[in-house]
Structure 1
Amino acid sequence: MSSSLSFARFYAHVLAIICFCAFFVSSSMAATTPHSEQVQGELAEYERLMVQIRSEQPGQTGYAAKALNKHLALTQQAYHLLLWQWADYLLQPKQAQELRALSPLVISKLNSASEGVKAGIAQDLLAANSLEKQISEGKKRLFNSNQAPAKTRLEQLQWQLYLLRQHQEQGYLALYNNSKRLGAFGQNVSGDMAKAQGLLLQQADILAGLIGINEDKLLKLEKSLSVVRSESATGKKLIADIALKNLEIQDYAKRLQRVVEMLSNEDIATALYKKTIIQAKKSLSADMLDERVVSHLITEWWHGVKKWFKHQAPTIISNSVTFFGILLLAYVAAVIARKAVRGLFRRAQPNMSQLAKKFIESMTLRVIVFIGFLFALSNLGIQIGPILAGLGILGFIIGFALQETLSNFASGLMILIYRPFDVGDKIRVSGLEGRVSKMNLVSTTVFTSANHHLTVPNNKIWKDTIHNITSQPQVRLDVLFKVPFSADSQAVLTAIKEEVSTNTIILQDKGSQVRIYELGESEVKYIARFWIASDLIDEAKWQVSEGVKRRFDDAGISGNIVDSYSVRPRQGK
């Protein structure tokens, strides 16, 4: 029984939650959909408020009159927006039944609103003409007297005219929206629509012109700022004026964009206006771009390029000729200097390695060319100091990022200074053996006896023991032979001595030695030590080995070569 009651309570809670959710969704939908009775009530409130404001306007002056005018404008704007929303709602296909019942009322209110807008446009036109006349007279007085009150009064009149132009523009847009919706209700509004389009086109032209005028003023302000210090009082005032002028241009561009959106709905050509908006806002948007706008932008850009090149071509050609002429002269001077350094080395025969000589020659060329490049830049009016400072900072960043490369660079300098080998020397280092072909500050190129091309980082060479095999014209070669204990040692020594004393590749005047080198567990090692030319190491090893082997065979001695290596008086770094 208790379980049945618990289930019934749970079911009741679930039903209550479902009913609450359904009520919440239906209430939300009703809140977002304009209910006709509610809209009519709100429209009536706005109409009553507008009548009340108009009744209070006569006799008011100063800020009270401005406040009432502003309140009336805001109320009219809210009234129009609500009326358009209601009309758009009724024009939906699913509201056909309600449309038949309420269309006369909506048409009546739209017509009434249009008449009020046209009357307001006429009043604004009269007021604008009056203000323009006062501004013209104020400019004359200011020109004659140049007094501060006259200037202040002129600025007030210009601001009033600016606000009035905005109000006129809102009236044009309201007339267009009213006429468009009346047309959707089947009313003949061709006259009002044509008038609205004409006024919008006129307003678009005025706004585009204002953008151009203010861009010219902005350019003058920026030119004035370029010749004064920005920290000075004049500079700060110019910066503030530039900021205000940019805001003014952006405001005109936004207003022009609203007008252009209305004109675009009527298939009126607006590409040039859109181009003006893009240039003023300095940004692109999808709704502003079409093929005509892009075509106009490209055409204007191309005309600008041609105009710029026409005015700048003589200067560009002159600077280019001077720049490349200086570079050419610097290169010729660098080549001559390199040849002079090379000739000096040839005549003076300094105690320097070929690697160091080649490095100095190449650096002479590069330094002179770099100095010529800097001189060419300075001739163009480019400041060299910031470039050199930038190179210093860049060098620090690169040095931090390329520490291994800089280590190779430093090792290359140490090799050039201490000269452990030179071009053409045969070296053994880091498990590699070959003849040095060339070297720069980062790596050394070595060719092995098998003609393999090896590029060894200088850091790896400098950290290891460098064995320069051919640094001396003569080197000592040691060849070891392994012979069993059973062999006659005297016969072995005689065979090796005979080969060493008769081989022509060995330098006999340097002397030679043949001795027992080491006693092993089952064999005896013999050593033959003699001197040869440093470039004949391999050939000497092969000839002596072959000769000793033949003599062992003739004497019936079984033995073989254990190892061979060269010894030079100077090893290491």
Structure 2
Amino acid sequence: MAAEQAQEAAQHVDVQAEAAKVIDHVSSLDMNQILNDYLIPYGTKILLAIAIFIFGKWIARFISNLLGKAAFASTKDEMLQSFVKSISYFLLLLIVVIAALSQLGINTSSLVALIGAAGLAIGLSLQNSLQNFAAGVMLLIFKPFRKGDLIETGGMTGIVEQMGLLVLELRTGDNKTVLIPNGKVFSDSIVNNSNNETRRIDFTFDISYDSNLKQAKEIIARILADNSLVLKNPEPVIAVGALASSSVQLVVRPWVKTADYWTAYWGITESVKLEFDHAGIEIPFNQMALHLPENASVSVNK
């Protein structure tokens, strides 16, 4: 016990002696020596590192904006412009940070190796995110749609608002925002309803077997001819599509401009219904007709 106390007392004395040496060394320095040996060199490095970071950040943003404008000028694609700006700014800012740390005397080679190892670990843990990122790059390369297009993908229909690094943002017809992972979009079928200037509307109108078929076709032809949204070329198609069990199915195929699709669809549907009612052409609905012989008797057991 006494030996341990003696050892602790000796260590305490050694600490006091080292502290006294440091105090004596600092007290022996004058302000000029402190200024020349410590404040000026290290302060200069810190100020230069801060200047490199601030100026480099501005340069990175300037270059990324130029690259984004160049991408938009060559493709007229706002989504590609945003993608190029984001990626280039991130990579340039990473270079600026490494340069600023190098100015402070930090070994950046080991830092780069550390970033690479961390990137590998993050990549293994975020495989789905990297898949979405790669899918986003492929979508930007092949460009199956642009901002403002009406598309169907991933079980959703909406207008393309923007495509980020990981998700595609759609705005549905009832003004909801839907985010779909890029990987799901790329692996699924994509229907672009806005890619072409014109679209065909597919109608199927049912009339009863007792109705006048020629009159029904003439009414539909007149409605299409009077509708200013229906294109004259290609000419609309009006034909008997099928003889169903309870109706004659008329297939109608007019062409319209893509922007007029729904306006023409709703207008033609309403006009056909009103004209059929006026002409006495019956549009059948599901019903059951029971025909009994005149001499048949019906008995009801109670």
Same topology, TM > 0.5: yes
Q: Deviation at 1:209? A: 1.7
**Post-superposition CA distance 1:542-568 (Å, at most 9, x none):** 11111111111111123289xxxxxxx
Change (3 A) 1:312 1:502: farther
Match of 2:252 in 1: 528
Note the 1:137-536 alignment, pairs <5 A.
Answer: 208-213=12-17, 317-345=43-71, 349-351=73-75, 353-536=77-260
Aligned residues of 1:481 and 1:560 also touching (Cα < 8 A): no
Q: Distance in 2 between matches of 1:499 and 1:383?
A: 79
Kindly provide the amino acid, as one letter, of the partner of residue 246 in structure 2.
S
What SS does the corresponding residue of 2:267 show, helix, strand or coil?
helix
Change (3 A) 1:487 1:320: farther
Paired residues in the alignment total 272
Change (3 A) 1:448 1:206: closer
Match of 1:49 in 2: none
Q: Distance in 2 between matches of 1:557 and 1:414?
A: 53
TM-score normalized by structure 2?
0.79
Q: Deviation at 1:393? A: 1.6
**Post-superposition CA distance 1:274-319 (Å, at most 9, x none):** xxxxxxxxxxxxxxxxxxxxxxxxxxxxxxxxxx9xx966566544
What SS does the corresponding residue of 1:375 show, helix, strand or coil?
helix
Match of 2:264 in 1: 540
Q: Distance in 2 between matches of 1:356 and 1:560?
A: 52
Change (3 A) 1:459 1:205: closer
What SS does the corresponding residue of 2:161 show, helix, strand or coil?
strand
Change (3 A) 1:342 1:208: closer
Aligned residues of 2:64 and 2:89 also touching (Cα < 8 A): yes
Q: Distance in 2 between matches of 1:397 and 1:421?
A: 34
Kindly provide the amino acid, as one letter, of the partner of residue 373 in structure 1.
V
Q: Distance in 2 between matches of 1:432 and 1:381?
A: 54
Change (3 A) 1:326 1:409: same
Q: Deviation at 1:376? A: 1.0
Aligned residues of 2:145 and 2:195 also touching (Cα < 8 A): yes
Change (3 A) 1:367 1:396: closer
Q: Deviation at 1:380? A: 1.2
Change (3 A) 1:498 1:443: same
Q: Deviation at 1:355? A: 2.1
Kindly provide the amino acid, as one letter, of the partner of residue 209 in structure 1.
V
After superposition, the CA RMSD in angstroms is 3.1
**Post-superposition CA distance 1:122-146 (Å, at most 9, x none):** xxxxxxxxxxxxxxxxxxxxxxxxx
Higher normalized contact order (CA 8 Å, seq sep 6+, divided by chain length): 2
Q: Deviation at 1:344? A: 3.6
Note the 1:63-78 alignment, pairs <5 A.
Answer: none
Aligned residues of 1:475 and 1:532 also touching (Cα < 8 A): yes
Kindly provide the amino acid, as one letter, of the partner of residue 321 in structure 1.
L
Kindly provide the amino acid, as one letter, of the partner of residue 254 in structure 2.
F
Kindly provide the amino acid, as one letter, of the partner of residue 543 in structure 1.
G
Change (3 A) 1:430 1:342: closer
TM-score normalized by structure 1?
0.43
Change (3 A) 1:361 1:560: farther
Q: Distance in 1 between matches of 2:10 and 2:202?
A: 103
What SS does the corresponding residue of 1:514 show, helix, strand or coil?
strand
Aligned residues of 1:549 and 1:560 also touching (Cα < 8 A): no
Aligned residues of 2:208 and 2:283 also touching (Cα < 8 A): yes
Kindly provide the amino acid, as one letter, of the partner of residue 374 in structure 1.
I
Aligned residues of 1:478 and 1:528 also touching (Cα < 8 A): yes
Q: Distance in 2 between matches of 1:535 and 1:324?
A: 54
Structure 2 unmatched ranges of 5 or more: 23-33, 286-302
Change (3 A) 1:334 1:204: closer
Kindly provide the amino acid, as one letter, of the partner of residue 383 in structure 1.
N
Aligned residues of 1:319 and 1:380 also touching (Cα < 8 A): yes
Match of 2:30 in 1: none
Q: Distance in 1 between matches of 2:261 and 2:91?
A: 42
What SS does the corresponding residue of 1:509 show, helix, strand or coil?
coil
Q: Which has the larger radius of gyration?
A: 1
Structure with higher strand content: 2
What SS does the corresponding residue of 2:173 show, helix, strand or coil?
coil
Aligned residues of 2:208 and 2:284 also touching (Cα < 8 A): no
Aligned residues of 2:207 and 2:248 also touching (Cα < 8 A): yes
Change (3 A) 1:518 1:320: farther
Match of 1:248 in 2: none
What SS does the corresponding residue of 2:169 show, helix, strand or coil?
strand
- % identical equivalent positions: 25
Q: Deviation at 1:520? A: 1.4
Kindly provide the amino acid, as one letter, of the partner of residue 336 in structure 1.
F
Out of 283, 288, 292, the residue aligned to residue 559 of structure 1 is: 283
Q: Does 1:550 align with 2:249?
A: no
Kindly provide the amino acid, as one letter, of the partner of residue 330 in structure 1.
G
